[in-house]
Amino acid sequence: MNLKAGLIGLPNVGKSSLFSALTKMNVEIANYPFATIEPNIATVEIHDPRILQLTKIVKPEKTVFATYSFVDIAGLIKGASTGEGLGNKFLANVRNVDCLVHIVRCFQDPKIIHVNNEINPIFDIQTINLELIFADLGTIQTIISRLAKKANNTNDKQVKFEFELAKKVEIHLKNGKSLRDLELDSTEILQIKSWQLLTIKPVLYVANLDQKSIQNPDANPYFWKLKSYLVKEKAILLPLCIALEQEISQLDEEEKHLFLKEFLLEKSSLDLLILHSFYLLDLATFFTVGKKEVRSWTFRKNTPAIECSGIIHSDFKKKFIRVEIISFDDFVQAGSEKVVKENGKMRLEGKDYLIKDGEICHFRIGN
């Protein structure tokens, strides 16, 4: 599955630095707006702790992690929805990602320019969210204009459904609210996604802190205000010191351990960021386990076994017979597939079985 998370935010908030830390790539990082014009794209491994545990037990020849792409998108400014700054390019790039990682500056540093000349994380979030709302409003009004004549001159239920939904969406956007906050059923959500509206995309907020705040983020007044503000949105807010994470990403394992110890940190927060952004998309993981390879595979929740088999190879879907299922906990407790079978903990399921997150699957296929 080629899924992408877009790193967004105002210019100079740490997007490119975070991208560098996540991907260990050196991208242009500059102390002026719009250093990023064309988006940088890179794929990272999802270090799910469960696959590390399976690797320790099985000791395979290799371990293959599920992957996920991050896109470093140009900084947005007020007026982007009408083309200000790199507005049109920014909005086009946002349309092409599956979820958003919104980076917000929560530190003072006179050497680093702020596009609004003041540190105000709530205003920064409102600026970007409002531009995305304006962009969606323009899109939905075009859709309403296209559907209006059809809806008034047809009995087609689908056309009428789309027209009524578009009007419902327009009213909500005119109230200055993101579509994430609108109560929708699954059919409405699918339709809105087909219109490529931006504010329906799930968001993870990252508070970019200074080093002295990382051990106690709540002591940082910018973070505390931001955290209180986002409670009503029921959004995930992850505190990160991006400068620190960028330094850590360049170290070898031994140096990394010493560096983290110096800052009283157990581990880098980047894996947590990757996992959070991954789960925003309602994704799950199943595993295949063998002496040659332990591997994690990404799938959307509530996907039938036959569809999951096709993620491994299209032939698996065509020749699917059944799937052997072992729960992660049963495998870890038993210590091997052989003992799991002896304990009667392995079961056979058919093509319509909905694979669950963390299950170990062995797909049986015909000739």
Pick from 38, 40, 14: which is nearest to 26 by CA? Answer: 40
Distances (CA, A) of 20 to 3, 56, 103, 243: 19, 29, 14, 10
Residue by residue, DSSP assigns 127-140 as HHHHHHHHHHHHHH
Residue 81 among known ligand-binding residues: no
Residue 12 among known ligand-binding residues: yes
d(CA 135, CA 140): 9
Residue 16 among known ligand-binding residues: yes
Pick from 298, 336, 348, 332: which is nearest to 69 by CA? Answer: 298
d(CA 256, CA 254): 5
358 CA to centre of own chain: 19
The owner of tokens 């052989």 is 338
The number of beta carbons lying within 10 Å of the beta carbon of residue 299 is 19
| 8 A C-beta contact, residue 361 and residue 286 | yes
Residue 129 among known ligand-binding residues: no
- Cβ burial of 118 (10 Å; 0-12, 13-18, 19+) is exposed
Residue 350 among known ligand-binding residues: no
**Is the Cα dihedral 79, 81, 83, 85 positive or negative?**
positive
Residue 14 among known ligand-binding residues: yes
Going by the annotation, the residues of the binding site for ATP are: 12-17
Per the annotation, binding residues are 12-17
